[in-house]
């Protein structure tokens, strides 16, 4: 069991007693648990067997394609049907979609009820559940509608990772690699060589990665400055993910961010921040882990259109978070369309 204290909330790793202790202290009028069909089957029975209070369940359909205002409307309507109020508690039991959307609906229902994050995927455990970013996609644009609101607490149970298919584990591992690239070079060089994802010490991996993200979000909770480095790989990655949302075999978030990291590492190389050897190492290790998915890259016109709605932009200028060096990120970086095209070509060939 491990505990990480952030500015306004605690992150508990593998401590079921802490869940009931938190709920008892809150003296909530009711408890609502938001799940999807997967966490309802694989994770809810464990949570239900632990809670000492009664609860209601809201089940939504899994997948990024359902992270929209229509699903939020259904959640809000069901909260009303359950008689929820501002003194209720919302438990978000799921991956990044559940955490983002559950936290957003809880934060806006009656101007805000308490919520806790209980992430069940590697991606959400190391990244999405920490830092208070909440929201939904809108008109194919990633996370365009949302707020920054910290949870009351985060409860991470690494046993939930045993319920995941290997592609979900690998998807989440993209954020582990990202944290090393932007903050801790030693962690990056250690994590980039892992190929066998069985029998890893997930408690330690999750703890280390969360500590890296926490060190940034505590210093800049509203993303006014340094927190923007966490968006490395996400400007191009989110655009590629959005392009593939409506395809029969859409990209997982981590798969798209992995592509974005290769391209944005090349943008960093073009600025003279990292060496050719370093950018080639980034490309080689990411393609070895995530595959070389050149068929997922849209044409430049589509890519630029999607990037034009990125939240980091200012005054219509596309802003990137890049690498100052391996293990050190920077932000508010302008690049030319010619640079972007070269970066896309670098990944594609």
Distances (CA, A) of 161 to 59, 95, 209, 257: 20, 11, 15, 20
The one catalytic residue among 143, 231, 244, 330? 231
Q: How far apart are CA 295 and CA 210, in angstroms?
A: 32
Catalytic status, residue 234: yes
The one catalytic residue among 12, 133, 178, 192? 133
Q: Which of 164, 239, 152, 240 is nearest to 200 (CA)?
A: 164
Catalytic status, residue 54: no
Catalytic status, residue 195: no
Catalytic status, residue 111: yes
Catalytic status, residue 175: yes
The one catalytic residue among 67, 178, 213, 283? 213
Q: How far apart are the first and last CA of the chain?
A: 45
Q: How far apart are CA 145 and CA 211, in angstroms?
A: 27
Q: How far apart are CA 210 and CA 208, in angstroms?
A: 6
The one catalytic residue among 143, 178, 223, 244? 223
Strand partners of residue 226: none
Catalytic status, residue 238: yes
DSSP 7-32: SS-EEEES-HHHHHHHHHHHT-S-EE
Catalytic status, residue 231: yes
Sheet (strand 56-60) strand order: 2-5, 10-13, 153-156, 114-119, 89-94, 31-36, 56-60
For residue 136, give every residue at least 6 positions away whose Cβ sits within 8 Å of its Cβ, in sequence order, or none.
Answer: 67, 68, 69, 71, 72, 100, 101, 104, 143, 144, 145, 146
The one catalytic residue among 142, 238, 296, 312? 238
Q: Residue 9 phi/psi, 5° resolution?
A: -155, 165
Catalytic status, residue 253: yes
The one catalytic residue among 67, 142, 234, 312? 234
Q: How far apart are CA 184 and CA 199, in angstroms?
A: 24
The one catalytic residue among 250, 253, 296, 311? 253
The one catalytic residue among 227, 283, 311, 312? 227
Q: How far apart are CA 342 and CA 272, in angstroms?
A: 14
Catalytic positions, written as ranges? 111, 133, 175, 213, 223, 227, 231, 234, 238, 253
């Amino acid at each position: 069991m491990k505990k990480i204290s952030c500015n306004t909330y605690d992150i508990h790793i593998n401590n079921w007693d802490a869940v009931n202790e938190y709920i008892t202290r809150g003296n909530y009028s009711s408890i609502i648990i938001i799940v999807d069909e997967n966490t309802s089957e694989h994770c809810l029975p464990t949570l239900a067997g632990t809670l000492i209070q009664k609860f209601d369940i809201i089940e939504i359909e899994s997948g990024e394609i359902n992270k929209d205002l229509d699903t939020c409307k259904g959640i809000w309507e069901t909260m009303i049907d359950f008689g929820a109020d501002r003194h209720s508690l919302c438990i978000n039991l799921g991956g990044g979609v559940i955490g983002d959307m559950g936290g957003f609906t809880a934060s806006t229902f009656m101007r805000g009820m308490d919520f806790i994050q209980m992430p069940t995927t590697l991606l959400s455990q190391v990244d999405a559940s920490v830092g208070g970013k909440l929201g939904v996609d809108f008109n194919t644009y990633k996370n365009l509608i949302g707020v920054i609101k910290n949870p009351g607490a985060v409860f991470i149970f690494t046993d939930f990772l045993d319920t995941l298919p290997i592609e979900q584990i690998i998807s989440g591992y993209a954020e582990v690699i990202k944290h090393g690239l932007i903050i801790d070079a030693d962690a990056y060089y250690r994590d980039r060589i892992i190929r066998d994802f069985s029998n890893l010490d997930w408690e330690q991996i999750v703890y280390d990665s969360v500590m890296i993200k926490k060190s940034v979000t505590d210093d800049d909770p509203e993303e006014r400055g340094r927190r923007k480095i966490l968006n490395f790989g996400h400007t191009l990655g989110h655009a590629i993910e959005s392009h593939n949302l409506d395809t029969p075999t859409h990209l997982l978030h981590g798969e798209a961010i992995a592509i974005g990291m290769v391209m944005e590492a090349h943008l960093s190389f073009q600025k003279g921040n990292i060496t050719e050897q370093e950018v080639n190492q980034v490309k080689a290790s990411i393609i070895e882990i995530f595959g070389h998915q050149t068929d997922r890259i849209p044409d430049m016109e589509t890519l630029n259109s999607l990037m034009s709605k990125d939240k980091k932009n200012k005054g219509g200028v596309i802003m990137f978070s890049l690498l100052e060096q391996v293990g050190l990120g920077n932000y508010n970086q302008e690049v030319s369309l010619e640079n972007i095209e070269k970066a896309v070509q670098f990944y594609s060939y």
